């Protein structure tokens, strides 16, 4: 098939990368990778299982125990990470093209994610050189200081939404701190992950430091979590999978960092800048095709502006441009996979029984095949509705009115999730007090999701365990060892057993 939207030089087959070599699965098994626009298979990928994970972990363990990477000075590792960032940046158009084709993300948004991936490596390259560790002195008695040491083989399990960028978010700090890694990318979107090996080789990353095993979560991911030589697991994905990982990692007492699901509220008070709030909340749920954990998918609006907000929001949602992912004008592309499309569409049908449909509600006109969903808006949604409580992970939003600050807070906290919250008000006291009280790991005041890489990223309740970002990532990927030195002429030790 000749199609201008299909990138040139697509691989016929995607392999694992273990100990510096591209390899197929030990048992030769493969799985199909689908184009979200047609749902036709465009390539196959090696389907990894326990035997492949065992080989990858063994390679990573050798590189950690015997190789130079953990023993290099931070500045030396930093130079390699900066070269990685330079290469990623120089290939942003190609990365975006492949990511868009594989995941269905609009090309302009995929380009932004490729550039963010480069910035993630650059950030951690700088951070490990600039970081300082604690030292404490008791004058004349004792000096105490902290050593940071890489832990070993980090198991990284990444999702299918913005895959390349989210892989960089884990790879950057894991490598910067001197660990070796085994990456298990999402099976729906293995294409861009296959580029890391060549980038790392070109940048001078030593053999065995980076290993990649494709495969299903229940096969490759499960084996990685249960491997006794993998002391760290960093996972981004849905909350139910996080619970399974938590249970499977428990017998090994592994370090866990898990960024899980969300059902984040966007709270719009009557004194807010209405135009800015509409713009930001439209972007907050429909960007990245709605497939984002921090999406503001529940919009809570003060009663006195509720009808005006709903009217303006619905009108603007209808103008959001659905299109083919490769078209620069596209604002919402194709959902990643037919399984996910079916899930999102099932929630659209549920929503029609739980709220007032004011925009969307089905396939957009002119897209008879592929995983296209029109931006869908439900108003008057009750807090006990499934579309209010459950993560949909698509371009679907629920709008609910409130009458007081207390009711707004109660509604905002009325889900099992607690990842992000967005608050729109020009009352400074209210903004700070509401931010303090809302059950969310991250809060944005009068803003959409704008990330500062120095700040902690993570959620509360069912939205996660632990935080990454800035020094929190350094903390997760290192052991902190306290060293105590006696300075006194006499040690002041208690004495047992003397005459």
Q: Could you give the residue numbers annotated as active site?
A: 259
- From the number of C-beta atoms within 10 Å of its C-beta (0-12, 13-18, 19+), residue 141 rates as exposed
CB 465 within 8 A of CB 256: yes
Give the H or E element holding residue 31.
strand 30-35
- Rg of the Cα trace of the chain? 24
- For the chain, the maximum distance between any two Cα atoms, rounded to a whole number of angstroms, is 96
Question: Distance (Å, rounded) from C-alpha 234 to C-alpha 154?
Answer: 8
Both tokens assigned to 256: 């866990």
Return d(Cα 465, Cα 444) in angstroms, integer: 20
Closest by alpha carbon to 237, among 216, 257, 258?
Answer: 258
Using an 8 Å Cβ cutoff, are 326 and 108 in contact?
no
Cβ atoms of 307 and 347 within 8 Å: the answer is no
* Integer Cα distance of 164 and 170 in angstroms: 10
Tell me how far CA of residue 230 lies from CA of 226, 475, 481, in angstroms.
8, 17, 20
Q: Which long-range contacts (CB under 8 A, 24 or more apart) does 484-489 make?
A: 484/142, 484/143, 484/144, 485/142, 485/143, 485/144, 486/141, 486/142, 487/138, 487/140, 487/141, 487/142, 487/143, 488/140, 488/141, 488/142
- Compute the residue count for the chain: 499
- The alpha carbon torsion through 207, 213, 295, 37 (nearest 10 deg) reads 120
Q: HSE on the CB side for 277, CA within 13 Å? A: 27
Task: Give the DSSP letter of residue 71.
Answer: G
In angstroms, the CA 33 to CA 49 distance is 17
């Amino acid at each position: 098939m000749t199609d201008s939207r299909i990138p040139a030089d697509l691989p016929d087959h995607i392999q694992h990368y273990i100990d510096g070599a591209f390899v197929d699965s030990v048992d030769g098994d493969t799985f199909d990778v689908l184009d979200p626009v047609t749902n036709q298979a465009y390539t196959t990928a090696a389907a990894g299982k326990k035997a492949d994970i065992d080989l990858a972990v063994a390679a990573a363990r050798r590189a950690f125990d015997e190789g130079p990477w953990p023993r290099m000075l931070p500045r030396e590792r930093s130079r390699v990470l900066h070269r990685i960032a330079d290469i990623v940046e120089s290939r942003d158009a190609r990365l975006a093209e492949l990511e868009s084709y594989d995941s269905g993300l609009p090309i302009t948004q995929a380009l932004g994610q490729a550039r963010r991936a480069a910035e993630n490596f650059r950030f951690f390259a700088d951070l490990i050189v600039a970081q300082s560790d604690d030292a404490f002195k008791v004058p004349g008695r004792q000096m105490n200081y902290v050593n940071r040491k890489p832990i070993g083989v980090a198991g990284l399990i990444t999702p299918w939404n913005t895959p390349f960028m989210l892989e960089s978010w884990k790879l950057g700090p894991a490598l910067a701190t001197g660990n070796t890694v085994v990456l298990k990318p999402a099976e729906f979107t293995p294409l861009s992950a296959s580029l890391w090996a060549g980038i790392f080789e070109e940048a001078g990353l030593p053999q065995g430091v980076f290993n990649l095993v494709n495969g299903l979560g229940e096969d490759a991911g499960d084996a990685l979590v249960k491997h006794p030589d993998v002391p760290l697991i960093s996972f981004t994905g849905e909350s139910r999978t996080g619970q399974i990982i938590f249970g499977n990692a428990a017998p090994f007492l592994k370090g866990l960092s898990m960024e899980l699901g969300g059902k984040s509220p966007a709270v719009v008070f009557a004194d807010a800048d209405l135009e800015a709030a509409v713009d930001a909340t439209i972007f907050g749920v429909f960007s990245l095709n709605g497939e984002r954990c921090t999406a503001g998918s529940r919009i809570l609006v003060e009663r006195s502006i509720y009808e005006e907000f709903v009217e303006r929001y619905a009108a603007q949602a209808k103008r959001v441009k659905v299109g083919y992912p490769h078209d620069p004008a596209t604002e919402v592309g194709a959902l990643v996979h037919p399984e996910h499309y079916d899930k999102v569409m099932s929630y659209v049908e549920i929503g029609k029984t739980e709220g007032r449909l004011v925009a969307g509600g089905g396939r957009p006109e002119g897209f008879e095949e592929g995983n296209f969903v029109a931006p869908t808006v439900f108003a008057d949604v009750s807090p006990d509705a499934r579309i209010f409580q459950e993560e949909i992970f698509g371009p679907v939003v629920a709008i609910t009115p409130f009458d007081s600050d207390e009711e707004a807070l109660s509604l905002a906290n009325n889900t099992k999730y607690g990842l992000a919250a967005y608050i729109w008000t020009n009352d400074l006291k209210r903004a700070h007090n509401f931010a303090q009280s809302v059950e969310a790991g991250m809060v944005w005041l009068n803003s959409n999701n704008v990330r500062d890489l120095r700040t902690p990223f993570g959620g509360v309740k069912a939205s996660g365990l632990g935080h990454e970002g800035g020094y929190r990532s350094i903390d997760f990927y290192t052991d902190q060892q306290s060293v105590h030195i006696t300075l006194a002429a006499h040690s002041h030790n208690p004495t047992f057993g003397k005459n």
